[in-house]
Amino acid sequence: MNSKDIHNVYFIGIGGIGMSALARYFNFIGKKVSGYDKTPTPLTRELESVGITVHNEDDVDLIEEAYKNPKTTLVVYTPAVPSSHLEYNYFKDQGFQIKKRSEVLGLITEDTFCFAVAGTHGKTTTSCILAHLLRETGTLITAFLGGISEDFNSNFLLEGTNYSVVEADEFDRSFLRLSPNVACITSMDADHLDIYGSGEELNRSFEEFTGRIKPNGKLFVRKGLPIEGITYGIEDDADYCIKNVRVEQGAYVFDIASPEANLKGVRFHKPGRHNLLNGLVAYAMAVQAGSAPESLAGALASFKGVQRRFSYQLRRDDFVFIDDYAHHPTEIDAAYQAVSEMHPGKRVLAVFQPHLYSRTRDFVDDFARSLSNFPNLLMLDIYPAREEPIEGVSSQWLLDKVESPYKKLVNKSDLIPQIKACDPQVLITMGAGDIGLEVLKIRKELE
């Protein structure tokens, strides 16, 4: 990809969180950017607000003429686009340079000092914390994030080109396109079995990812994972370790023991032990850029969070509303742990939207076990994303296996009345589908 020859960049699936960050990058460096996405969303509207044109019909006639020259146009697509997509096939048949998002990300970051965050859970929060820590301690970075950082209200940051922060996504083996200097692996739970077929095959892909790290690079691995690296953990003998954890005024206070320094009384405001681990490995990675440990500890305390990652929507004495991206049993367990620790003894209602028929099928018993922790549960229909329905796989099938004392399948149109009828003290919405678009409506109604 010779960037000098590329004047136009066309995105198929431009509204995806990772794709929109890349679109912002090319727009920022002066390329002409346009694209297709099947649904208008807040992300696509934000792209349009900075001059990027977006249309929502798969129609070759809607592609502007400027993008129909194979010599000057790069086409970027997401693996979620079906092979029958008309625009994709037009570009393919006309001999355009077509690349997956992961390939382009690998090429952009290849000549930078690259920090890559891998793992089946925690990538977005960890990369957002890492970008915040580096920025706060004076390292100028380019960051491509899988969520909207509440610290800079974007999924993209470009303040310097020597250092980059990226999510190393295991979906479709995308992370094997990266060549990081410093990487971490936060978790390796079985997921994306529609791609990998088995947890063992997924683990092999993570092993292959570790071989992508540049010579003299560093790999940080959560203690207990079956990969060799510099370990991190809570209250154990890891190389980077959090000790003496306590909760004070809704925040964690703890000590960090590490090769560089032993820090006392560090504060962190994101609930959940999983987020403590995310903060710890972000700290460990940021140290590799030469940032002072004491300054990084201060920056941990000022981290605001990530939209849809245990994000407080309302926080009153009598009512709390939290929204979370949890879409895997392990993530639901983490959300339950955080709610229980931060809001003990409260009447909790969970609203869950399953994501993908295949994931629901592959982990149905684990989902049922995790969701059964919540005494009150409302469930929405499965969000299909890129998939066609699978016979016998439905939200009702999953709900029948859940053992919560109160459980109910509801339509989105009836969601707010059902929430009100339950009269919770703590409400948590969970899922990776379009449940995020309901959050603002719920908040306005319950404010």
Mean pLDDT by 10 residues, the chain (447 residues): 80 95 95 96 94 97 97 93 95 96 93 96 96 97 95 94 94 88 92 68 91 97 96 96 94 96 96 96 97 97 94 95 96 95 95 97 97 98 93 98 98 97 98 94 95
**DSSP code for 439:** H
What is the reported pLDDT for 3? 63
* Collapsed DSSP state (helix, strand, coil) of residue 55: strand
In angstroms, rounded to a whole number, what is the distance separating the alpha carbons of residues 249 and 301? Answer: 13
What is the reported pLDDT for 198? 76
Residues 29 and 114 in one domain: no
Q: Is 119 annotated as a binding residue?
A: yes
In angstroms, rounded to a whole number, what is the distance separating the alpha carbons of residues 209 and 178? Answer: 8
What is the reported pLDDT for 383? 97
What is the reported pLDDT for 369? 98
> Which of residues 100, 121, 150 is at a domain's end?
100
Residues 122 and 95 in one domain: no
Q: Is 124 annotated as a binding residue?
A: yes
Place of tokens 């063992």: 200
Q: Is 121 annotated as a binding residue?
A: yes
CA angle 234, 239, 243 (to 5 degrees): 30
What is the reported pLDDT for 194? 67
> Which of residues 254, 285, 302 is at a domain's end?
302
Let me know if residue 105 belongs to a domain: no
Residues 235 and 371 in one domain: no
What is the reported pLDDT for 324? 96
CATH number at residue 20: 3.40.50.720
- Which helix (H) or strand (E) segment holds residue 154: the answer is strand 154-158
What is the reported pLDDT for 25? 96
Residues 141 and 76 in one domain: no
